[in-house]
């Protein structure tokens, strides 16, 4: 079956770390083109790739089938819209858009054009999250009453990416790291009934939010998701408490670490966490109390692209739907309203 000619809208970190390596090793895809305004970084690593200086020229190339919008958040709507209008399938980096109306418009446009638009929620394919999902799906803890999820870092310095550190639409940690944890929470538990949020700037030089905490209210469950850039000694990434027991799992990031080192994905041990990163399960199974470490699931961002291929070539339902991406934005907008009004917001 013909590989999908794929084009990147940039070759910054997301391009060379999160997208190009998986496209390049997947026989169902062809890393065909890239939009670089004045550099040739992609060509140095992938000599066969075509470099375009203008987005319009890349979109005018009939050979391009799939466009990856991996540019600053505030450009997602504009570039995704142009790609859809040009008759391309589109992958949009998270967050989908910076407001709900933009997301709705893209969804409607994709429907009219009969094209796929999806959001790159790669953290669904992390080892830690896949392990948590298995524990929840197998009901190992009984009915859950409390869940806490962290995505913390210790990073006093500002990002070298200027667009990430200038206050404006779509900037800040809530849009960045928050898009991951919110998506994971919604996949596990659905949309909450209401939420409360605290959003702050804690680094002395920062001009965008770098700390946030959101409490999601469900019928009999409370889910707290939290991130800070000033955490030198991190807490576990996932803490789950149910009527039968608890599960505590470190936050791991093995794939990103390997990709930044230049390790090519696809080997048999790809995405396998070290033994030291196992989660602790303390619960009751068949009337017996057990306390043991659980083998982590294997992570693989490449699975996302396998699913995209099946959707484009074999018309199977897309796994990461644009509607799910839109719900993440609903939560983010509600969180900012909660912070501004210091109140609980109904969803």
- What pLDDT, on a 0 to 100 scale, did the predictor assign at position 268? 85
- Strand partners for 246: 241, 282
Predicted confidence (pLDDT) per residue in 63-95, tens digit: 999 999 999 999 999 999 999 999 999 999 999
- For 58, 206, 276, the CA distances from 53, given in Å and listed in that order, are 8, 32, 46
Q: Which two tokens stand for residue 226?
A: 């939290």
- pLDDT of residue 131 exceeding 90: yes
Identify the band that residue 50 occupies on the pLDDT scale cut at 50, 70 and 90.
Answer: very high
Which is more confidently placed, 156 or 314? 314
For residue 51, what are the contacts with CB-CB under 8 A and spacing of at least 6?
Answer: 33, 34, 35, 36, 40, 42, 43
Three-state secondary-structure class, residue 149: strand
Q: Tell me how far apart the alpha carbons of residues 225 and 238 are, in angstroms, rounded to a whole number.
A: 9
> What's the whole-number average pLDDT of the chain?
96
Q: Got the DSSP string for 211-256?
A: EEEEEEE-SS-EEEEEEESB-SSPPPSEEEEESS-EEEE----HHH
Q: Calculate mean pLDDT across residues 116-139.
A: 97
Q: Which two tokens stand for residue 61?
A: 């190339």
- What pLDDT, on a 0 to 100 scale, did the predictor assign at position 162? 66
- pLDDT of residue 183 exceeding 80: yes
Phi (first) and psi of residue 290, to 5 degrees: -125, 145
* Closest listed residue to residue 134, CA positions, set 269, 247, 288, 268: 247
Q: Got the DSSP string for 1-34?
A: ---EEEEES--SHIIIIIIHHHHHH-TTEEEEEE
Residue 171 in contact with residue 201, Cβ under 8 Å? no
For each of the domains in the chain, give its residue range(s) and CATH number, in order of start.
Answer: 4-121 (3.40.50.720), 123-302+331-346 (3.30.360.10)
- What pLDDT, on a 0 to 100 scale, did the predictor assign at position 160? 74
Predicted confidence (pLDDT) per residue in 287-339, tens digit: 999 999 999 999 999 999 999 999 999 999 999 999 999 999 999 999 999 99
Tokens 């770098």 -> residue = 210
Predicted confidence (pLDDT) per residue in 206-259, tens digit: 899 999 999 999 999 999 999 999 999 999 999 999 999 999 999 987 999 999
- pLDDT of residue 283 exceeding 80: yes
């Amino acid at each position: 079956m013909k590989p999908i000619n794929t084009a990147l809208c940039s070759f910054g970190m997301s391009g060379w770390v999160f997208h190009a390596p998986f496209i390049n090793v997947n026989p169902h895809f062809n890393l065909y083109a890239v939009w670089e305004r004045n550099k040739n970084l992609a060509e140095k690593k992938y000599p066969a790739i075509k470099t375009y200086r203008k987005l319009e020229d890349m979109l005018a190339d009939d050979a391009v089938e799939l466009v990856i919008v991996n540019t600053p958040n505030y450009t997602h709507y504009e570039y995704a819209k142009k790609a859809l209008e040009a008759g391309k399938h589109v992958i949009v980096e998270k967050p989908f858009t910076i407001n709900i109306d933009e997301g709705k418009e893209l969804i409607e446009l994709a429907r009219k054009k009969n094209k796929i638009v999806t959001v790159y929620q790669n953290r669904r394919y992390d080892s830690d999250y896949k392990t948590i999902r298995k524990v929840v799906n197998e009901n190992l803890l009984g009915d859950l009453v409390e869940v806490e999820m962290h995505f913390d870092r210790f990073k006093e310095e500002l990002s070298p990416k200027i667009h990430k550190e200038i206050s404006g639409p779509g900037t800040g940690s809530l849009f960045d790291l928050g898009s991951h944890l919110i998506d994971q929470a919604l996949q596990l538990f659905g949309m909450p009934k209401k939420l409360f949020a605290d959003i702050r700037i804690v680094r002395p030089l920062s001009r965008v939010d770098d700390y946030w905490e959101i409490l999601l209210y469900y019928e009999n469950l409370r889910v707290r998701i939290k991130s800070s850039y000033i955490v030198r000694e991190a807490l576990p990434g996932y803490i789950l408490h149910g009527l039968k027991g608890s599960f505590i799992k470190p936050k791991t990031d093995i794939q990103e670490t390997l990709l930044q080192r230049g390790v090519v994905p696809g080997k048999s041990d790809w995405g396998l966490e070290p033994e030291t990163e196992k989660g602790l399960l303390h619960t009751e199974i068949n009337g017996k109390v057990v306390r043991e470490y659980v083998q982590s699931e294997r992570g693989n961002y490449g699975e996302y692209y396998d699913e995209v291929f099946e959707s484009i070539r074999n018309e199977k339902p897309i796994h990461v739907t644009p509607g799910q991406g839109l719900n993440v934005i609903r939560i983010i907008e509600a969180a900012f309203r909660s912070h501004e009004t210091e109140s609980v917001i109904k969803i």
